A and B are shown apart, each in its own frame.
Chain A
């Protein structure tokens, strides 16, 4: 098992290096000058040149690239061009917010989506099934930023249950929870829709299998058939979707963080883009790439947990 994990992590290294290279050149293809953005539109050419020199942006691109790779390979993501603080420190400041948001959304998604999907499959073509399918269709077709505004209108403006600005006050853990609810529900509802659809169709497939009919014929109670015999096998596609969707979730978290004005990687990335903070963008992309690699690995490991057949191979 350990060798497997190590092997997978080793394979991830070239992926990360490729991501680094692509990101390095892509952020520089976009026109826009960090020095100009730092100093504003009245700065002299001399001032701009001085800032570019300080930031090392006046060096040839290949030199900057080699320097960047050397920095990263030494385990350092460099310093932000704008704040001059280590990129890793800036990321670390907000990473917990993004993680708590995505993980909570994931939990909401699975906790609601899975039972809904199973129930829909069990009651195929009946009222519950239709309701669940309509709900999932709505969930899938709503852009995250629209549902976010609707949630704010309902729960922050009308009911005053939650703040509009989802930021935690220091030394007040409850405010952190209340700041998390709406954004997590917003992201989670989309996740519910995905999980529900996959769980339903996968469950329908499994429920038609011979061994299920056998179990039923043997007089096993319906609940046990569904939850013990069928669900295990139906889970594999669900795990795949959850793993794949975690990437989408991180993307949607950018929009969610912006609308709920929540600190996190999303707000950081949008700001870095606007400021052409090359090193920050590079660092963020590495972090994103790394998260995706880890999630994929975790997904593969989960297969083994839910399906003994995978473990054996």
Chain B
């Protein structure tokens, strides 16, 4: 026991020497993210949520969503000061802001960088988002501060694909060419913050771009820490080691954080819509009555009640709420278990039926499907969930192995993108042009294509509405609910704008943001 006492004494002595940690240095924003490590800082090459937020602080687009919004009608100038369009809207000319500097000493940003960047975003061999630029036939530098884009068909939202989002983020050419593979961890843009250091498995440190064209940021550094354990991240927030925390998307978490002193819980868009796609080519789902029965059996209100109304809302259509062209009053099937049973009986399944599907173990998605499972059980559908880890889930659903697929996603907030990726026959899984059409539906193809061709905004919206109505009626998918983004921050951090939505799925930190 004597050795124990001496060890305890040594430990206590060590503590006295070490002492408590010093308080945070001024103007360093510490952020806690739910990931084990960085995926990539290359905006054209990553679609991971943990990478998106930080990329949003480092890059600009030709245009941008007003900070705190995702409304395509409120897109404003960013690297481009102004732009002109041809009468047919197939040629767009952007006039760049002069004197914008690439971060980390890569010189002034010119039309050449913009051309390089957009070509890169459109290159299927490099970019994760090339399909967004499939209609772009050329992008050229007219002079060092003018860029001209031509399209063979007008994309649903030209400005949308040129915002500071995914492929629209402008990278600096010299940096890409010089850094090669290292661009992944040392990416260079023109944003308010620039990469300073990447420590594998630990953190990314950004430093303020003092010559940012909108003014020097008021925060000196951002330390973006990778903390995969939810419990540890919460504790690190409680202890004051982080000021801005990526939250768990559930009511309990949001309520608990709300009760902490000096803490503001941020719940904002986009809502990630969970659609339950039904494969219309596979038995028994090839029978419309079975699909309708499933639609009638799902109780959206109950799902939202379970998820928590603070962080979730009911789906309004097969396209998320608030996108340009969403049918906010789509003819969704109401909850009617009696009708569901009747339809099943009509289809020859009076004694019930069994469907086996593949489901991710990701908790927020799994518990949703467990509720749906219970709801379907009530009408006689025995849905067996084969639970697998998330990468396995993604691999298997793309091999068309699951007759029903629950998928959560947010996209560029224009109906065309969601409709094309999830419901156009061109995007059907198992085909060479596959994206995420798990339902094998093609009923809305004509409307989706026609909406792209027209320059008449009202007509375009009408076509998108038709497309959604057809998909809903044909039960290509059962819309479930929308999961909002949940973060929390200390009240000494002020974003400098009202945070209603952020396409990067995290708050935008820019020159307006202050930290006391």
Q: Is A121 an interface residue (CB 8 A)?
A: no
Cα A263 to Cα B201 in complex, Å, equals: 6
Contact between chains at B433 and A90 (CB < 8 Å) = no
With A40-B46, A161-B15 as contacts: A45 and B235 at CB distance below 8 Å: no
The size of the chain A interface, using a CB distance under 8 A, is 58
User: Interface code B203-246, partner A: CB below 8 Å = 1, 0 otherwise?
Assistant: 10000000000000000000001111101100110110100000
Residue in contact with B125 in the complex, picked from A50, A152, A181, CB distance below 8 Å? A50
Contact between chains at B131 and A165 (CB < 8 Å) = no
A61-69, A253-261, A289-297: which lies at the B interface? Answer: A253-261
Contact between chains at B433 and A45 (CB < 8 Å) = yes
The size of the chain B interface, using a CB distance under 8 A, is 65
With A161-B15, A276-B391 as contacts: A41 and B201 at CB distance below 8 Å: no
Interface residues of B in 102-157 (CB under 8 A from A): 124-131
Q: Is B392 an interface residue (CB 8 A)?
A: yes
User: Interface code A175-186, partner B: CB below 8 Å = 1, 0 otherwise?
Assistant: 101100100000
Question: Which of A36, A42, A111, A157 has the largest number of chain B CB atoms within 10 A?
Answer: A42
Q: Which residues of A contact B236 (CB under 8 A)?
A: 164-165, 261
Q: Is B7 an interface residue (CB 8 A)?
A: yes
Closest to A174 in B: B18
Q: Is A43 an interface residue (CB 8 A)?
A: yes
Q: Which residues of B contact A42 (CB under 8 A)?
A: 47, 128-129, 131, 166, 411, 421, 435
Contact between chains at B3 and A111 (CB < 8 Å) = yes
Cα A39 to Cα B166 in complex, Å, equals: 12
Contact between chains at B238 and A157 (CB < 8 Å) = yes
Q: Is B331 an interface residue (CB 8 A)?
A: no
Contact between chains at B200 and A161 (CB < 8 Å) = no
Residue in contact with A31 in the complex, picked from B17, B241, B395, CB distance below 8 Å? B395
Cα A177 to Cα B232 in complex, Å, equals: 19
With A47-B126, A83-B200, A90-B200 as contacts: A111 and B7 at CB distance below 8 Å: yes
Q: Is A115 an interface residue (CB 8 A)?
A: yes
Question: Which of A93, A119, A156 has the largest number of chain B CB atoms within 10 A?
Answer: A156
Q: Which residues of A contact B15 (CB under 8 A)?
A: 161, 181
Residue in contact with A45 in the complex, picked from B201, B202, B389, B434, CB distance below 8 Å? B434
Q: Is B97 an interface residue (CB 8 A)?
A: no
With A39-B45, A261-B232, A263-B201 as contacts: A165 and B241 at CB distance below 8 Å: yes
Q: Which residues of A contact B78 (CB under 8 A)?
A: none
Interface residues of B in 355-375 (CB under 8 A from A): none
Closest to B391 in A: A32
Q: Is A84 an interface residue (CB 8 A)?
A: yes
Q: Is B387 an interface residue (CB 8 A)?
A: no
Q: How far is the CB of B266 from chain A (nearest CB, A)?
A: 21
User: Interface code B405-437, partner A: CB below 8 Å = 1, 0 otherwise?
Assistant: 000010100000000010000000000111110
With A50-B125, A174-B18 as contacts: A115 and B3 at CB distance below 8 Å: yes
Interface residues of B in 1-50 (CB under 8 A from A): 1, 3-4, 7, 11, 14-15, 17-18, 20-21, 36-37, 39-40, 45-48
Q: Which residues of B contact A36 (CB under 8 A)?
A: 391, 394-395, 398
Residue in contact with A270 in the complex, picked from B21, B126, B228, CB distance below 8 Å? B228
Contact between chains at A40 and B47 (CB < 8 Å) = yes
Cα A270 to Cα B201 in complex, Å, equals: 10
Q: Which residues of B contact A45 (CB under 8 A)?
A: 432-434
Contact between chains at A43 and B47 (CB < 8 Å) = yes
Q: How far is the CB of A168 from chain B (nearest CB, A)?
A: 10
Cα A152 to Cα B128 in complex, Å, equals: 40
Q: Which residues of B contact A174 (CB under 8 A)?
A: 17-18
Q: Is B494 an interface residue (CB 8 A)?
A: no
Contact between chains at B391 and A274 (CB < 8 Å) = yes
Q: Is B184 an interface residue (CB 8 A)?
A: yes
Contact between chains at A160 and B20 (CB < 8 Å) = yes
Q: Is B181 an interface residue (CB 8 A)?
A: yes
Contact between chains at A263 and B228 (CB < 8 Å) = no
Residue in contact with A83 in the complex, picked from B18, B130, B184, B203, CB distance below 8 Å? B184
User: Interface code A2-39, partner B: CB below 8 Å = 1, 0 otherwise?
Assistant: 00000000000000000000000000001111001111
Contact between chains at B227 and A261 (CB < 8 Å) = yes
Q: Which residues of A contact B453 (CB under 8 A)?
A: none
Residue in contact with A153 in the complex, picked from B20, B235, B241, B434, CB distance below 8 Å? B235
Question: Which of A31, A83, A119, A175 has the largest number of chain B CB atoms within 10 A?
Answer: A31
Q: Is A267 an interface residue (CB 8 A)?
A: yes
Q: Is A163 an interface residue (CB 8 A)?
A: yes
Q: Is A94 an interface residue (CB 8 A)?
A: yes
Q: Is A235 an interface residue (CB 8 A)?
A: no
Q: Which residues of B contact A260 (CB under 8 A)?
A: 232
Q: How far is the CB of A258 from chain B (nearest CB, A)?
A: 5
Cα A36 to Cα B396 in complex, Å, equals: 12
Q: Is B388 an interface residue (CB 8 A)?
A: yes
Q: How far is the CB of B277 from chain A (nearest CB, A)?
A: 14
Q: How far is the CB of B197 from chain A (nearest CB, A)?
A: 9
Closest to A84 in B: B181
Residue in contact with A268 in the complex, picked from B201, B241, B409, CB distance below 8 Å? B201
Contact between chains at B130 and A44 (CB < 8 Å) = yes
Question: Which of B36, B46, B390, B434 has the largest number of chain A CB atoms within 10 A?
Answer: B36
Residue in contact with A259 in the complex, picked from B48, B201, B229, CB distance below 8 Å? B229
Contact between chains at B14 and A177 (CB < 8 Å) = yes
Closest to B8 in A: A112
Q: Which residues of A contact B232 (CB under 8 A)?
A: 152, 164-165, 258-261
Q: How far is the CB of B315 from chain A (nearest CB, A)?
A: 19
Closest to B231 in A: A149
Q: Is A167 an interface residue (CB 8 A)?
A: yes
Cα A203 to Cα B473 in complex, Å, equals: 77
Contact between chains at B128 and A267 (CB < 8 Å) = no
Closest to A33 in B: B395
Q: Which residues of A contact B432 (CB under 8 A)?
A: 45
Cα A224 to Cα B227 in complex, Å, equals: 51
Cα A188 to Cα B391 in complex, Å, equals: 34
Q: Is A116 an interface residue (CB 8 A)?
A: yes
Cα A83 to Cα B126 in complex, Å, equals: 16
Q: Which residues of B contact A111 (CB under 8 A)?
A: 3, 7
Residue in contact with A46 in the complex, picked from B48, B125, B391, CB distance below 8 Å? B125
Contact between chains at B4 and A112 (CB < 8 Å) = yes
Question: Which of A116, A178, A181 has the largest number of chain B CB atoms within 10 A?
Answer: A178
Q: List 28 A-B contacts (CB under 8 A).
A: A31-B395, A33-B391, A36-B391, A38-B40, A38-B46, A41-B47, A43-B128, A44-B131, A44-B433, A44-B435, A46-B124, A46-B125, A47-B126, A47-B130, A83-B184, A112-B7, A149-B235, A153-B235, A160-B239, A163-B21, A164-B236, A165-B225, A165-B227, A174-B17, A178-B18, A263-B199, A263-B201, A267-B228
Q: Other than A37-B394, A41-B436, A259-B229, give 17 A-B pairs with Cβ distance below 8 A.
A: A30-B392, A32-B392, A33-B394, A39-B45, A41-B394, A44-B435, A94-B200, A94-B201, A152-B235, A156-B239, A163-B21, A174-B18, A181-B15, A259-B231, A261-B236, A263-B199, A263-B200
Which 3 pairs between the two chains have the least Cβ-Cβ distance?
A: A40-B47, A32-B391, A271-B36
